[in-house]
C-alpha cells in the first residue's frame, strides 16, 4: 500500500469512529431525557414530592457530566484526527479545488461538517451541548421550586 491508500484507510476508520461517538452521545441524550421524563411522570402520578424531582435533577447533571466531559471529548479527538488526515490528503495532492468547503482535501467531510456545525447559531458544538442540558435542568429546577412552593 502506498501513502494515499494508507491515508484513505485511516480516514475511513476515523470517520467510522466519529460516527460511533456521535451515536453514543445521541443515545446517551435520548436515554437521559427518557429517564428524566419517566422520573417526573412517576413523581406526578405518585406525588413523591421534591425528593423525586431533586433525584431527577441530580441524574440529569450526572448525564451532562458524562456526555460533555467524557464522550464529547472522545468525539472531538476523532474530529481533530480526521481534520489532520484531511490536511495530509491535501498535501499529497488528493484535493478537490472546486470544493472550497472541503479544506482543500478530497476527504474533506470532517472539515465540512465541523465548519457547518459552527455556523449554526455561531456557537461551538460543546456550547450547544451545554445549552441543551441547561434548558432541561432549568425546567427541572423550576418544577422543583414550584413543588416546594406548593408545600408551603
Instruction: With beta carbons less than 8 A apart as the criterion, state whether 114 and 121 touch.
Output: no
**Which of 106, 89, 107 lies closest to 97, judged by CA?**
106
What's the CA gap between 59 and 136, in Å, rounded? 12
Q: What is the CA radius of gyration of the chain?
A: 21
Instruction: With beta carbons less than 8 A apart as the criterion, state whether 68 and 129 touch.
Output: yes
**Which of 80, 68, 67 lies closest to 14, judged by CA?**
80
Tens of pLDDT, residues 83-116: 898 888 888 888 765 555 655 566 777 777 887 7
pTM strictly above 0.85? no
Tens of pLDDT, residues 5-41: 999 899 999 999 999 999 999 999 999 999 999 999 9
Q: What are 91's three cell numbers?
A: 498535501
Amino acid at each position: 500500500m502506498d501513502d494515499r491508500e494508507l491515508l484513505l484507510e485511516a480516514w475511513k476508520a476515523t470517520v467510522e469512529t466519529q460516527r460511533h461517538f456521535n451515536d453514543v452521545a445521541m443515545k446517551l441524550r435520548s436515554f437521559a431525557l427518557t429517564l428524566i421524563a419517566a422520573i417526573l411522570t412517576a413523581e406526578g402520578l405518585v406525588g413523591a414530592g421534591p425528593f423525586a424531582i431533586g433525584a431527577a435533577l441530580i441524574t440529569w447533571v450526572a448525564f451532562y457530566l458524562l456526555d460533555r466531559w467524557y464522550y464529547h471529548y472522545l468525539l472531538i479527538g476523532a474530529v481533530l484526527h480526521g481534520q489532520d488526515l484531511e490536511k495530509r490528503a491535501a498535501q499529497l495532492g488528493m484535493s478537490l479545488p472546486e470544493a472550497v468547503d472541503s479544506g482543500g482535501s478530497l476527504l474533506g467531510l470532517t472539515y465540512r461538517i465541523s465548519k457547518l456545525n459552527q455556523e449554526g447559531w455561531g456557537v461551538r458544538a460543546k456550547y450547544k451541548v451545554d445549552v441543551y442540558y441547561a434548558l432541561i435542568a432549568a425546567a427541572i429546577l423550576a418544577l422543583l421550586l414550584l413543588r416546594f412552593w406548593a408545600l408551603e
